[in-house]
Structure 1
Amino acid sequence: MRTRLLGLVVLVSLLIVPATATAESVSGTVTVADGSADGETVTIAPLDPGNELVENATETTVEDGSFTYESVDGAVTYFVELEHEGATHYALVDDGERPEFVLNETISGKLVDENGTPISNATITVTSQHGPEVTQVNATDGSYTIGPVQPDHVYTLEIEANGATYERTVSTGDDTANTTFELPTPTTDRDALTLGGGQPVNHLLRVGPPQNGTGLFVVETVSVENGADRPFAGNVSFEVPSDAEVVTGMVDNERTSASRTNDTVMVETTVSAQENATVDVFYRLEDRAFEKPVGYDVEQLAIQFAEYDLAQVEVSDNLAEADAPMPMVTSTGPLEADDQISVSITESNQSVASDQTDGGSGTGEFPLGLVSLGFVAIIAIGLAAYRYL
């Protein structure tokens, strides 16, 4: 089965250009129950054995229930996308195989709480088995109908309701396509969350110069796991230095609200049942030094420095230089929530140039050197092999 990632890679890579004639034409068909797709757009992306684009994608239209495209030398599969009535449908076919879209199924059902009461004002995002989004619908009174869609397909429903996210799977052609889903009320109990999913570390600070001015810019990240049988919808807390100017919070790379009480920042977070999430708080510091409590009991904590080398850095005794392909320190052993860590940059360093930032608007611009070196990326490049010096 093709991975969901394939569809996402193809979509973000598409660049529509006029079709280039090649030796062989391939015809596809579109059948719509009680309707027609004539005039609708079909996009075809030719892929090599590594699922990379061989040539830029091309567009064609449906006429009399069919469409035609030219085969491409070197392509072994084609990712085909059909737009119809505000929804997008997908097919992945081998070279020479005729793509066939049959839209004759409906996904319907109800959303209820644990007492059987319909849940209103829910939003359902439908995702195909190849990964990309098919459509989005609103279930204003707890009922929903999605269609027409393809038969014998697996669809994922991402349901936004009760201030949380629920994920359910349906298969057209069996009874799951017409289902009442019970959505348990989210928990706000912080004890449902544990640090996890970020092995070998699940608490990380990225430190660098701000875009403008002096001081430091810090991105502090924890990876949390929801062990409950229902979504978590509440706050994840961070202990920050007293002079911290909080910029924003993020959950899984999407901005969210962050509020501060004294030296504690609360980041509004939702985590699906039995799932992990990465939670960040972004803050600026007036000086090139800080001291703060860890905030969590951790087996290992890491601090990574952008635009600085370790010759410029002094740290507390519970931190030590790591043997790593980037300037980084890690804790010398497990840390408790109340343990203090400190960092001081002893030499001035040039601020990040304006063309090295993401230039985003809103509460502030983020230094690209910190944001682009994401939590997962840092783990992936070898933190498991780090040793203390």
Structure 2
Amino acid sequence: MELLRPEATVLSLGERVLSFDREGRPYHYFRQGLTYKRALDGSLHLRYREGARRRRRLGEEEALAVYGEILGLAEAHLRDPERRAEVLRWTPEALWDPTPYRRAYPWPVSILPPDAYLSVVLQATTGCTWNRCAFCSFYQDRPFQKRSPSAFQEHVERVLELLGRGRLLRRGVFLGDGNALALGEPLLPLMETVQRTFPGEPVLGFLDLFTGMKKEVSWWARLGALGLRRVYLGLETGHAPLLALLNKPGHPREALSLVSALKEAGLSVGVILMVGAGGAAYAEAHRRESLWLLAELPLDREDVVYLSPFQEQPGTPYAALGLEGLPDLEAELAAWAEALRRMGLRVARYDIREFLY
């Protein structure tokens, strides 16, 4: 059975389901318990269960074989002439080719919040203003740079060229990289470009605590008038000694004034906490003081607390500390989530291993 949606083409073939964007590129393929997802850079990622949830990025030979299988199924079963033409103009090699992606994103998109995976990512900056967190390896491959209005306009045009009609699948704009909302006045012409190009689309972005607390309510209201709707705040923990260990500047309680300013400006907030950071040595204080702080924040049903299972990245200063991890991270996540729901807060899981753009 073929489902012809304005934004996608879906083939349902019993135990196989294939989904294509309106450029004809497959983005999801389910086959007998295996889920394949194609990223915009052409890479193919496999998700499956083998006891626990497993994930891996396919190598070129295996990916080309799966792309060939997908195209073969489309050729055999897709009947609508317009959709057939969209899909069958591709070859496995063209689907694998990262060149179009690299034209739009010379520095790749490193991470997004889970509810922004289908946003259009526009990099007002590349890298991170701080880039010294002990646990983070996302931006070690690039310097922090801000784009001029002309460079940003060129970037926007290349992103639109990459997406083509695949843009129909996407909702909202995520302003990257790691801390684009820290730019101050240079951000305004870039936001105006986004507003002109994506009228009415909500704009989302990351914000660090130590930069955000320097801004007044009027600044956030100004950005809200240009389309900003949600700010993701990497709080990580409410326990000050652990925050210092993670080498994040500032104090957790500074989030009180920042979140109050964001809410007064009419913005929604995503508060990110890393469950398991600090390992067994910090677990009790991390949970207790984080929950105390969250209870004081002026959050409502428009806001979300994201619980991220901590993933130690090899080669980082944090990994060199040799801290003992939690014996059961999933149980700890469940305890956090239950406590937050009892407080009336919205809770979502934020697993960085699931990221795919």
Q: TM-score, normalised by structure 1?
A: 0.27
* Greater per-residue strand proportion: 1
Pick the structure with greater CA Rg.
1
Higher helix share: 2
> Structure 2-normalised TM-score?
0.28
